């Protein structure tokens, strides 16, 4: 039977799994939305300078989010994926500032920090 520590770890991972799989998959369903609504023009300029098309960046971002979500789901490389999650979400917050959407990201950073500093690695 799962003890409360294992159960807490599982629920943290499942919550992050849902968020990252949802947004990762949606980047393939609605890539134009992500470019137009969430890719700042200053960053699009950087991508253009690097020869990276906006849609390709969105697809790469979607793949990254799906991989992170699957890592959380299958309890693989948790500390690495938690660290990458924190970096990614901090980039989003600093790019857009705190608003009604990025406030959610602060909560997700808290969940990722909990996994990053979790004592030990549990297999379920």
The per-residue pLDDT for 59 is 98
Report pLDDT for 43: 95
For residues 101-115, give the mean pLDDT: 95
Higher per-residue pLDDT: 54 or 124: 54
92 inside domain: yes
Instruction: Report pLDDT digits (tens) over 29-78.
Output: 999 999 999 999 999 999 999 999 999 999 999 999 999 999 999 999 99
- pLDDT score at 3: 75
User: What's the token pair of residue 116?
Assistant: 């990053």
Are the C-beta atoms of 66 and 25 separated by less than 8 Å? yes
Task: Work out the angle at residue 25's Cα, subtended by the Cα atoms of residues 74 and 21, and round it to the nearest 5 degrees.
Answer: 30
Determine, yes or no, domain membership for 124: no
Residue 84 has which token pair?
A: 């990458």
Does 123 reside within a domain?
no
Within-domain flag for 100: yes
Classified as helix, coil or strand, 77 is coil
How confident is the model over 13-30, as a mean pLDDT?
98
What pTM, to 2 d.p., does this model score?
A: 0.91
Dihedral angle, C-alpha 60, 104, 78, 2, nearest 10 °: -140
Write the pLDDT tens digit of every residue in 65-93: 999 999 999 999 999 999 999 999 999 99
Number of compact structural domains in the chain: 1
Instruction: Assess whether pLDDT exceeds 70 at residue 99.
Output: yes
Q: Is residue 46 part of a domain?
A: yes
Quote the domain boundaries for residue 92: 4-116
Confirm whether 122 is domain-assigned. no
- Whether the pLDDT of residue 121 is over 70: the answer is no
pLDDT at 1: 55
Distances, alpha carbon 88 to alpha carbons 1, 91, 119, in Å: 35, 5, 23
DSSP secondary structure letters along 32-48: HHHHHHHS-HHHHHHHH
In a domain, 73, yes or no: yes
Q: For residue 40, tell me if it sits in a domain.
A: yes
Query: Could you report how far apart the first and last alpha carbons of the chain are, in Å?
Result: 10
């Amino acid at each position: 039977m799962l003890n409360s520590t294992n159960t807490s770890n599982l629920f943290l991972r499942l919550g992050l799994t849902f968020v990252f799989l949802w947004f990762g998959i949606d980047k393939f369903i609605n890539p134009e939305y992500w470019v137009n609504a969430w890719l700042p023009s200053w960053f699009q300029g950087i991508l253009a300078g690097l020869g990276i098309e906006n849609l390709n960046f969105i697809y790469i971002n979607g793949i990254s989010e799906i991989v992170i979500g699957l890592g959380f789901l299958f309890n693989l490389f948790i500390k690495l994926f938690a660290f990458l999650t924190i970096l990614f979400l901090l980039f989003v917050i600093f790019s857009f500032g705190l608003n009604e959407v990025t406030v959610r990201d602060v909560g997700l950073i808290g969940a990722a920090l909990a996994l990053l500093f979790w004592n030990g690695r549990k297999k379920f």
